[in-house]
Structure 1
Amino acid sequence: MAIADPLYLSEAGVSRAGWRMEAPMSHSAAVDERSPRIPVTSPWQATLSGLCASLVGIGLARFAYTPLLPAIIDAHWFAASAATYLGAANLVGYLAGALLARPLTQRVSTTLVLRAMMLVATAAFFACAFPLSFLWFFAWRIASGISGGALMVLAAPVVLPHVPHARRGLASGLIFAGVGLGIAASGTLVPLLLRQGLEQTWLGLGLLALILTAIAWTGWPRHPAAVPPAPHAARGTHPTRQLQALYAEYGLNAVGLVPHMIFLVDFVARGLGQGLDAGAQYWVLFGLGAIVGPIVTGHLADRTGYGSALRLAYLIQAAAVALPMLGLGSSGLIVSSVIVGAFTPGIVPLVLGRVQELLAHHPAAQKGAWSAATTSFAVLQATAAYGMSFLFTATGGDYRLLFILGASALILALAVDLTISVMRGSRE
């Protein structure tokens, strides 16, 4: 029987390792087993491309700016207030990129958009080496944010349908490990580059992004893949209420991450009086957690299902975010930094997998739902960042309030998930 879809996964097309993929055969080729099969992009190549995309577009383009901010101010490139706005520009661009990604793919191929966005992020690094004016710098920071938002929405959904279902959680984790690698680089590689100078640091990051873009260039899948039904998915009508709840949960999770993402170093350095060096050490721990987090959460989801893994993630995060205000000393801070760092990118494959799980029988709606989830995350993250910054200033530097708000948001996310589960169970 001929297969209509240009690319599909069959038992013969996936090796025992689960990471080899072959093109389908026509009817005549199926009859003649001697006919050659045409290889297409393998799942591991596509996964590597996804990892490079998240590393360039988010890991480096967003998080590398954190250690560069003091250097930009010290070098008198921009005043402190202006430099802060430049940091926020990336978040604004990220939201725009998340919104524009799908409309762009309706005009040109997704692969072309992915390649273009990685090139834009790379160009932004080189452009920022030359602070010609505030508007110049601001525009390129916006552009880097747009590329990050688009890559977040498009990369993983393009790759994962080509991966055997039993390995999708792990593959998703590997893709978003790029975010963690970028966070780790912000605490290790960037300080080393800064010894050569600020301009050289931007150029070095641009060169690294260019290399990663070249690695990813030919790894993107050339054709769409047929997606078999997920074993954890519930059959039935379109799960609108569950999706709306998931969007809210993902946004609340973003709020819960803000205290550590923005205030962790400052809390250790000034709030605890341990200095910037100690604060930087905890940021490195945060980054180390971020490297392994997506892989661990993805593997967990492969074993338990995405719904159960998400509920466990909300609970663990709430406890970890609350730890700094309990005064448990360095041990508590270490645990808190590593765990929250792990879930900063680690929550992403769980939510993406849950979207695909809920819409297993509505594959055409998956990309739109993931775009909506990413937008919810971006909006609430930016809102929480500005809101908590305002509260921090208004309260005279009350770190405890920030951690309370973050933990509360995560508890609320868990409550929303449990409520929807109970309501769904009662109807069934």
Structure 2
Amino acid sequence: MLIFNRESNSAILLAGIFALIVGVGVARFVFTSLLPAMLEDSITIAYAGVLASINYVGYLTGSIFSVFIKDIHSKVKYFRFGLFICVISSFILGVTDNSTIWFIARLFAGFGAAMALVVGSAVVMLKLKSVNKTKAMGIHFSGLGFSILITDLVMRGVFYAGGNWQDAWIILAILGALLSCYSAYVLRFDKQPNNEVVKHKFDKSLFSPMVIILILAYFTEGIGMVVQATFLPDIVNSLQGLDGYGGYVWLAVGIAGVPSCIIWMRLAHRFGSINIMIVAMLLQIVGIIIPTLSSNIVMNLISGLLFGATFIGLVSLFMNFGGQLSKKNPVFIMGAITSAYGIGQILGPLYSVALIKQFGNYNEALYLTATIVTMGILLLTYAKINYKEAKDTAQ
């Protein structure tokens, strides 16, 4: 069958999407879906912020670690290890309520997510055969949207069947294990003699001014996505008249995210990656600000749609553009920019919790987040004006 042919582009992309569902959905974003239920039953908003930040510490650690993985077979090994710990760490949350164990589990889940996203995406990019990489990677990164949509629907199915959030973690871990088996089977390379294995050295020359700006801009985007990615259902539930609607807005995030990567990557191929990043970040700012201006459910659904369509698309745009800049070793710059993204994701929940505690709502946290994303737009605009790489369309 074609889907079990490890050299088929269709199988490679499907395996990459499954890996993103496990690493990004099960190990990271379903935490957001389950947060309202956990807040009611088990944890405080402050502890939720700490768990989110420690997850991103693990993600940052994995992103930095990925830069130093030298050969393709090591990449595959750590990719598989990442999938394994994503599954185990999620299962643990369903079988214990020990705060120390949760803390450790979320840390390791973040590391596994980095292996699945950063290293896994590099393996997919290297394994794809003779296709337009920008368009193909847009299909791969649609897995980010699927990761939110599928895990949220599974969670809802568990609740509908009478289960609770612990049951949801267990079921999602089982789903993750099944998807991981397929990804691990397809995303591998034939063994080569040691003297033929290509090893990538740490190459400081790749850190051009363009790459440094890309890193700084992706840092601002890390902050831009993390506040809503962590708190969006609770943000909506906290608005007057919208208690209980937060889950529907989060579902809208996943629905918008599925096609967004394909659309944004096609636009990037036509109009240039930097141009499209700027447009996407501008739309993201609109989505961030909406909950501070309106408690209308339609407007807040639009906020969710804008968030899903932009933050997932921006991951694919930055990762693909970074991979293109690094030529033969895409994991190098992918890991570097994702490390900056991870730092932003650590800081976002922490300052949000502090501002929520001081002001009693999310408004100031969202205003600050929008301001930081604006700084990222200014950086990309500077790059567009001054650097040749920013003017070229990534192919």
With the shorter chain as reference, the TM-score category is 0.7 to 0.9
Please name the residue that 1:94 is paired with: 59
1:335 paired with 2:302, answer: yes
1:216-237 deviations in Å (ceiling 9; x for gaps):
122114159xxxxxxxxxxxx9
Please name the residue that 1:393 is paired with: 357
1:270 paired with 2:238, answer: yes
Q: What's the C-alpha RMSD, in Å, of the aligned pairs?
A: 2.8
Please name the residue that 2:118 is paired with: 153
How far apart, CA to CA, are the structure 2 residues paired with 1:75 and 1:406?
29
**Offset of residue 186 of structure 1:** 4.5
**Offset of residue 184 of structure 1:** 2.0
1:323, 1:333 within 8 Å by CA — same for their partners in 2?
yes
Where structure 2 has 5 or more consecutive residues not aligned to the other structure, the ranges are 192-204
Amino acid at match of 1:178: G
Secondary structure at 2:28's aligned position in 1?
coil
Secondary structure at 1:63's aligned position in 2?
helix
> Which of 71, 80, 84 is the matching residue for 1:119?
84
How far apart, CA to CA, are the structure 2 residues paired with 1:94 and 1:252?
16
Please name the residue that 2:13 is paired with: 47
Please name the residue that 2:28 is paired with: 62
**Offset of residue 106 of structure 1:** 5.5
1:359-398 deviations in Å (ceiling 9; x for gaps):
34xx24x32211110000010121022112212221232x
1:52-74 deviations in Å (ceiling 9; x for gaps):
11110111111112233444455
How far apart, CA to CA, are the structure 2 residues paired with 1:122 and 1:242?
37
Secondary structure at 2:7's aligned position in 1?
coil
Query: Which structure has the higher relative contact order (CA within 8 Å, separation 6+)?
Result: 2
Please name the residue that 2:145 is paired with: 180
1:239, 1:358 within 8 Å by CA — same for their partners in 2?
no
Please name the residue that 2:335 is paired with: 371
Please name the residue that 2:368 is paired with: 405
**Offset of residue 341 of structure 1:** 1.1
1:129 paired with 2:94, answer: yes
Where structure 1 has 5 or more consecutive residues not aligned to the other structure, the ranges are 1-19, 21-38, 225-236
How far apart, CA to CA, are the structure 2 residues paired with 1:267 and 1:290?
19
1:114, 1:154 within 8 Å by CA — same for their partners in 2?
yes
How far apart, CA to CA, are the structure 2 residues paired with 1:75 and 1:418?
46
- Under a length normalisation based on structure 1, what TM-score does the superposition of the two structures give? 0.78
Rg (Cα) greater in structure: 1
1:46, 1:221 within 8 Å by CA — same for their partners in 2?
no
% identical aligned pairs: 21
2:233, 2:247 within 8 Å by CA — same for their partners in 1?
yes
How far apart, CA to CA, are the structure 1 residues paired with 2:80 and 2:281?
34
Please name the residue that 1:7 is paired with: none
How far apart, CA to CA, are the structure 2 residues paired with 1:359 and 1:186?
33
Cα gap change, 1:191 to 1:346, in 2 (>3 Å): same
Cα gap change, 1:107 to 1:223, in 2 (>3 Å): closer
Amino acid at match of 1:381: Q
Cα gap change, 1:150 to 1:326, in 2 (>3 Å): same
How far apart, CA to CA, are the structure 1 residues paired with 2:48 and 2:304?
26
> Which of 245, 255, 262 is the matching residue for 1:288?
255
Please name the residue that 2:287 is paired with: 320
2:51, 2:106 within 8 Å by CA — same for their partners in 1?
yes
**Offset of residue 105 of structure 1:** 5.1
Q: Which has the higher helix share?
A: 2
Amino acid at match of 1:52: F
How far apart, CA to CA, are the structure 2 residues paired with 1:103 and 1:112?
14
Cα gap change, 1:123 to 1:302, in 2 (>3 Å): same
Amino acid at match of 1:59: G
1:175-197 deviations in Å (ceiling 9; x for gaps):
22222222223433213213224
How far apart, CA to CA, are the structure 2 residues paired with 1:69 and 1:281?
14
How far apart, CA to CA, are the structure 2 residues paired with 1:209 and 1:368?
27
How many residues are matched? 371
**Offset of residue 80 of structure 1:** 6.5
1:420 paired with 2:391, answer: no
1:256, 1:408 within 8 Å by CA — same for their partners in 2?
no
> Which of 233, 246, 250 is the matching residue for 2:218?
250
1:260 paired with 2:224, answer: no
1:240-288 deviations in Å (ceiling 9; x for gaps):
100000011111112222342234323322233321x222221211221
Secondary structure at 2:33's aligned position in 1?
helix
Q: Which moved more, 1:345-354 or 1:263-272?
A: 263-272
How far apart, CA to CA, are the structure 1 residues paired with 2:74 and 2:246?
44
1:298-355 deviations in Å (ceiling 9; x for gaps):
2222332322222222222223323333438334322221011122221111012211
- Under a length normalisation based on structure 2, what TM-score does the superposition of the two structures give? 0.84
**Offset of residue 405 of structure 1:** 2.1
How far apart, CA to CA, are the structure 1 residues paired with 2:70 and 2:24?
20
